[in-house]
Amino acid sequence: MQKNQGNTMNIKEELIEKWKKEGIVKDERLVNAFRKIKRENFILKDNLSRAYSDYPLPILGGQTISQPTTIITMIEALELKETDKVLEIGAGSGYNAALIASVCTKGIVYSTEIVEELVAFAKKNLKKEKITNVEVIHTDGSFGLREKSPFDKIISTCACPEIPEPWLDQLKSNGIIVAPVGPVHAQEMIQLRKIKGKIEMKTLGNFMFVPLKGRYGYE
Ligand code: SAH
């Protein structure tokens, strides 16, 4: 094994150990997806040495790839099943979608992205990892994606002033939405569940994300 490969594995295992200790991750399939997918394939060359640093990194178009701990917290909260059909708002680098797709091996991820150059970036990165159950779609995901709805799970990787109405409409019964909600500079991570037509919400802590653009984004 090459020396730097060994280092990468150690850094990954250290993160996994920390997440398990703090109760951030319980889903072993997600842990294995994190082990398998190379974050190096989703970031810019200049940041390669920081691939597993636990903070956000810049990608293209002034956007960021979230820090590993945040991504894992969000995906864990989706309570994924193998067969889930998932909608993502904000494909960015495609990394988040890659992790979800690796857990939902019999399902599919529709990942929307409003910035055109990031659509191409995400597609290219997903190809490097040979992931075939993610479709990256250039659209304003604040409208959801009506033609592929309803969804088992919806995840937003950008901050929303509130959960857009179309996402609620396009969520199946017993479905879950995970999204950072609040003002532009400080959001609470919301885990929303639709149970018998009713909405239940839980908060998972404070975070800061890049803002949702488009119709249901910030003024
Ligand atoms: N999930 C990404 C993180 C991307 S950051 C990853 O793993 O790398 C959030 C992304 O949301 C940005 O790429 C931004 O362009 C995108 N975005 C913002 N508003 C959007 C909208 N209305 N529809 C779709 N994507 C949007």
176 close to 190: Cβ distance less than 8 angstroms:
no
Q: What is the value of pTM for the model shown?
A: 0.96
125 close to 101: Cβ distance less than 8 angstroms:
no
Beta bridge partner(s), residue 199: 194
pLDDT band at 7, cuts 50/70/90? confident
Is 90 close to ligand 1, i.e. is its CB under 6 Å away?
A: yes
pLDDT band at 73, cuts 50/70/90? very high
Task: Tokens for 64, please give them.
Answer: 């960021």
Residue 88: name the closest of 145, 38, 39 by CA.
Answer: 145
b/e sequence 81-103, b meaning 16+ C-beta within 10 Å: eeebbbbbbbbbbbbbbbbbbbb
For a mutational test of ligand 1's pocket, the pick from 113, 119, 162, 165, i.e. the residue with the most ligand atoms closer than 8 A to its C-beta, is 113
Give the pLDDT of residue 190.
98
Cα-to-centroid distance, 179 and ligand 1 (Å): 12
Cα-to-centroid distance, 98 and ligand 1 (Å): 14
Cα-to-centroid distance, 48 and ligand 1 (Å): 21
Q: Residues 145-174: pLDDT tens digits?
A: 999 999 999 999 999 999 999 999 999 999
Percent of the chain predicted with pLDDT > 90: 93
Could you identify the residue written with the tokens 């920390």? 18
CA distance 135 to 30: 20
pLDDT band at 4, cuts 50/70/90? low
CA of 212, closest atom in ligand 1? 19
Is 102 close to ligand 1, i.e. is its CB under 6 Å away?
A: no
For a mutational test of ligand 1's pocket, the pick from 39, 89, 158, i.e. the residue with the most ligand atoms closer than 8 A to its C-beta, is 158
Cα-to-centroid distance, 138 and ligand 1 (Å): 11
Task: Tokens for 9, please give them.
Answer: 């594995």
Give the mean model confidence (pLDDT) for residues 58-62.
92
Is 86 close to ligand 1, i.e. is its CB under 6 Å away?
A: no
Bridging pattern class, strands 108-113 and 134-138: parallel
Is 37 close to ligand 1, i.e. is its CB under 6 Å away?
A: no
pLDDT band at 1, cuts 50/70/90? very low
CA of 118, closest atom in ligand 1? 13
Give the pLDDT of residue 8.
77
